[in-house]
Amino acid sequence: MHISIKSLGKTYENGKTALKDINLEISNGMFGLLGPNGAGKTTLMRILVTLMEPTSGSVLVNGEDLQKERGRIRSMLGYLPQDFKFFTRLKTWEFLDYIALLAGLKNRAQRRNAIDSMLTQVGLFEARDRMANRLSGGMKRRLGIAQALIGNPQIVVVDEPTTGLDPYERIRFRNLIGDLSRHDIIIIFSTHIVGDISSSCENLALLWRGEMAYSGTPDELLGQAQGHVWRVSASNEQLEDLKRRHAVVTTIPSADGWIIEIVAELPDGFEGEIIQPDLEHAYVYFMENRKSKGGH
């Protein structure tokens, strides 16, 4: 599978531009789409799953125009939106049965087997008779992935799937996505949380105010932050001053105050040591540079 996005733009009726001249190539595997809230990620996702039409540009799926082949390409898609809702009067298996029927699984026995297999994969088999709207937040997200995958789609889009989850469920969800991903399908993982994609995506893109800020591998992004991530010590009195002057990534209490990781050219009067950046450091460094250069 291959998705080619060319000069894509979206302007709403109120004049707000959500996307501007987006060019992106997405191939099989896990693809991360990063950006702060309001960057245009959800707009792009909704265009990709045919729920919204672009104002300009095109999306090609295996060389076919998304707008001209909406029905056929839609049958290849699985989608977990950020605001995913359940039918309040359906049990967990009943909800998945309804989605499977919509996905084209007409044979009742085959559908039941597919449902049981999927519920097992996402760790919900024991909750199959529980009302879907009474599941925990993490369970609802896992059921959301199950409904996105039940029709064996070739392209899966998940939009901000870990928002509101506790750290344990966030890690569990990330691992689940990684386990379910296959090399012959595309999984697009849209998030503003860097840790959600740091260990699972071979390629990623950054959106900033509706524009493409970066597209490439995580390692290439890490390389840009090399030599610009510092670990410094600061007292309680110095902490607020440090936060005003630098982009602070983490703060860890210490016996004498705080151990702080910052991204900066130099730590400006604070004693520090250069450390190896991780993807979160690199993301913050890239975005801070873009802000300082007046990026849109």
147-200 pLDDT, tens digit per residue, is: 998 988 999 999 888 877 788 888 888 777 777 666 688 999 998 888 888 767
Inform me whether the pLDDT recorded for 215 exceeds 90. yes
Inform me whether the pLDDT recorded for 112 exceeds 50. yes
In a domain, 285, yes or no: no
Q: What is the pLDDT at residue 256?
A: 83
Q: What is the pLDDT at residue 197?
A: 80
Asked if 75 and 15 sit in the same domain, the reply is: yes
Tell me the CATH number at 209.
Answer: 3.40.50.300
Average pLDDT for residues 231-244, to the nearest whole number?
Answer: 87
Average pLDDT for residues 4-26, to the nearest whole number?
Answer: 96
Q: What is the pLDDT at residue 196?
A: 80
Q: Where are the alpha helices (DSSP H) in 36-166?
A: 41-48, 70-74, 92-102, 108-121, 137-149
Q: What is the pLDDT at residue 272?
A: 85
Inform me whether the pLDDT recorded for 34 exceeds 90. yes
Alpha-carbon distances, residue 277 vs 170, 204, 273, 274 (angstroms):
22, 17, 12, 9
Final residue of a structural domain among 217, 249, 268: 217
Final residue of a structural domain among 217, 243, 266: 217
Q: How confident is the model at residue 115 (pLDDT cuts 50, 70, 90)?
A: very high
The helix (H) or strand (E) run that includes residue 24 is: strand 17-27
Domain residues for the domain of 86 are 2-217
In a domain, 245, yes or no: yes
Q: Is 229 exposed, middle or buried (0-12, 13-18, 19+ CB in 10 A)?
A: buried
Q: What is the pLDDT at residue 87?
A: 65
Q: Whole-angstrom Cα distance, residue 155 to residue 159?
A: 13
Asked if 56 and 154 sit in the same domain, the reply is: yes
More confident residue, 293 or 273: 273
Asked if 104 and 169 sit in the same domain, the reply is: yes
Cα 176 to chain centroid, rounded: 14
Asked if 159 and 248 sit in the same domain, the reply is: no
In a domain, 116, yes or no: yes
Asked if 88 and 197 sit in the same domain, the reply is: yes
Asked if 207 and 257 sit in the same domain, the reply is: no
Instruction: Fill in the amino acid letter for 217.
Output: T
In a domain, 288, yes or no: no
Q: What is the pLDDT at residue 10?
A: 97
Q: What is the pLDDT at residue 200?
A: 76
Q: Whole-angstrom Cα distance, residue 274 to residue 272?
A: 7
Average pLDDT for residues 113-131, to the nearest whole number?
Answer: 93
Phi, psi at residue 188, to the nearest 5°?
-105, 120
Cα-Cα-Cα-Cα dihedral sign, residues 95, 96, 98, 102: positive
Final residue of a structural domain among 178, 193, 217: 217
Neighbours of 108 (CB within 10 A): 10
In a domain, 293, yes or no: no
In a domain, 284, yes or no: no
In a domain, 286, yes or no: no
Asked if 131 and 166 sit in the same domain, the reply is: yes
Asked if 104 and 179 sit in the same domain, the reply is: yes
Asked if 100 and 189 sit in the same domain, the reply is: yes
Asked if 145 and 166 sit in the same domain, the reply is: yes
pLDDT over 90, % of the chain: 55
Q: Which of 74-78, 159-163, 223-227, 261-265 has the lowest mean pLDDT?
A: 159-163
Q: What is the pLDDT at residue 179?
A: 75
In a domain, 71, yes or no: yes
Asked if 237 and 173 sit in the same domain, the reply is: no
Contact present, 44 and 19 (Cβ < 8 Å): yes
Q: What is the mean pLDDT of the chain?
A: 89
Q: What is the pLDDT at residue 182?
A: 64
Q: How confident is the model at residue 296 (pLDDT cuts 50, 70, 90)?
A: very low
Number of domains the chain contains: 2
Q: How confident is the model at residue 20 (pLDDT cuts 50, 70, 90)?
A: very high
Asked if 82 and 182 sit in the same domain, the reply is: yes
